[in-house]
Amino acid sequence: MPSLKKIAVLTSGGDAPGMNAAVRAVTRGALARGWEVFAVRNGYAGLLANELDPLAARDVGGIIQAGGTVLGSARCPEFAEPAGRTKALANLRGRGIEALVVIGGNGSQSGSASLAREGFAVLGVPSTIDNDLYGNDVSIGCDTAINITLEAIDRLRTTASSHQRAFAVETMGRNCGYIALMAGIAGGAEVIALPEHELQPADVAARLRAARERGKTHALAVIAEGAKCGVHELMDYYGAHRPSIGFDLRVTRLGHVVRGGAPTAADRVLATRLGAAAIAMLAEGRHGVLVGMVKGDIISTPLTEIAGRMRPADASLLELARTMAL
Ligand code: F6P
């Protein structure tokens, strides 16, 4: 690719803490090379609506600590259609933009792969609390979401213990159990239910009962949003079997709370490194890839390899969690 002059950056899909730090890194990394940078507002939807405006270094000042995304985000089914992408490409080319950096999760990077297939220079930066992207160990936002979930678990344990209760805490993650697994281990949960390793409500109840029989004053079940044994199934089971279980059960669904608020230091640093690496790759004429962190190294994986694939949580860690719940 001849040397670049104009690039655009967008954030897409569910917002994630650290997206702003990535926008800042991409923008300042590009400006430092003398390139022009355009912000696309509201993800792919804004690209279709031609909502682009120039970004200067000061425009991305004071955002590294802010949650959400200052660029706005959206889910945009229209972009999955060829006509939508044709419109998006016309809008980019109409302004002389030569490359696009897409900061987002699984669906967003499938969108990037489609643009790459159509010959446009795209760089993907993985950002989703779900941490479900293939070609990347840790995505921007998931550390913060784990820590928010953990804080809730720690708080619920104190009230659970005071009342000799069990709590089922549901956390986000779509079809990936990564947040639940990490927060469950860090929070010392008695049970962790993941989409990657299904449990029946009777299994969860049996483990809670066993915890009581071992003398525990509380029991915590961390339930991933995508697990088949969800909080409703568990409540129904409890309704029918309460007397034989011992603990009373309460349910807390954390929902979008885990996606909001300021990013952790780890997410800010990761976002800064990946955003800057995306620009460095573009400068070398590399594109059509996701810039990811694997085993501590920054690597690139072709977007076409990533599209439609998922990185599951490592369910082998469940055994460790179970041993530690003794
Ligand atoms: O992908 C991020 C995520 O927060 C998932 O964990 C969750 O399933 C989904 O987005 C919620 O989507 P929405 O914000 O559109 O309700």
pLDDT digit string, tens, across residues 253-279: 999 999 999 999 999 999 999 999 999
CA distance 150 to 17: 16
| Mean local confidence (pLDDT), 117-127 | 97
Q: Whose CA is nearest to atom 1 of ligand 1?
A: 14
Query: Among 73-82, 247-256, 313-322, which is the least confidently predicted range?
Result: 73-82
Asked if residue 127 lies in contact with residue 14, where contact means CB atoms within 8 angstroms, the answer is no
Q: Enter the tokens of residue 159.
A: 């009230």
* Ligand 1 site residues, Cβ closer than 6 angstroms: 14, 75, 105, 128-130, 172-174, 225, 259
CA distance 103 to 191: 33
| Mean local confidence (pLDDT), 16-43 | 98
Q: Is 130 a residue of the active site?
A: yes
Contact residues for 84 (Cβ-Cβ < 8 A; gap 6+): 44, 48, 76, 78
| Mean local confidence (pLDDT), 227-255 | 91
Asked if residue 53 lies in contact with residue 95, where contact means CB atoms within 8 angstroms, the answer is no
| Mean local confidence (pLDDT), 127-156 | 98
pTM of the model: 0.97
35 alpha carbon to ligand 1 midpoint, in Å? Answer: 34
pLDDT at 1: 53
pLDDT at 3: 74
Q: Enter the tokens of residue 315.
A: 């369910």
For 147, other C-beta atoms within 10 Å of its C-beta total: 21
Ligand 1 pocket mutation, candidates 19, 130, 225, criterion most atoms within 8 A of CB:
130
Contact residues for 170 (Cβ-Cβ < 8 A; gap 6+): 223, 224, 225, 230, 231, 251, 252, 253, 254, 255
11 alpha carbon to ligand 1 midpoint, in Å? Answer: 14
Asked if residue 121 lies in contact with residue 98, where contact means CB atoms within 8 angstroms, the answer is yes
| Nearest CA among 124, 127, 157 for reference residue 140 | 127
Please give the backbone phi and psi of residue 295, each rounded to the nearest 5 degrees, phi first: 50, 40
- Report how far apart, in Å, the C-alpha atoms of 296 and of each of 107, 274, 292 are: 24, 12, 10
Q: Whose CA is nearest to atom 9 of ligand 1?
A: 174
CA distance 44 to 10: 8
| Mean local confidence (pLDDT), 39-62 | 97
Which residue's entry shows tokens 């804004």?
A: 46
Q: Whose CA is nearest to atom 7 of ligand 1?
A: 174
- Report how far apart, in Å, the C-alpha atoms of 29 and of each of 86, 244, 275 are: 28, 61, 8
pLDDT at 306: 94
| Mean local confidence (pLDDT), 307-323 | 95
Percent share of the chain, pLDDT over 90: 95
1 alpha carbon to ligand 1 midpoint, in Å? Answer: 36
pLDDT at 2: 57
**Active site residue: 15, 53, 59, 130, which one?**
130
pLDDT at 244: 77
Asked if residue 168 lies in contact with residue 221, where contact means CB atoms within 8 angstroms, the answer is yes
Q: Whose CA is nearest to atom 2 of ligand 1?
A: 14
| Nearest CA among 154, 152, 145, 147 for reference residue 218 | 154
Q: Enter the tokens of residue 102.
A: 């897409």
Number of the ligand 1 atom closest to the C-alpha atom of 259: 4
- Strand ranges (DSSP E) for the chain? 6-12, 36-40, 52-55, 99-104, 121-126, 165-171, 191-193, 219-224, 248-253, 289-294, 297-302
Q: What is the pLDDT of residues 284-305, one digit of tens each?
A: 999 999 999 999 999 999 999 9
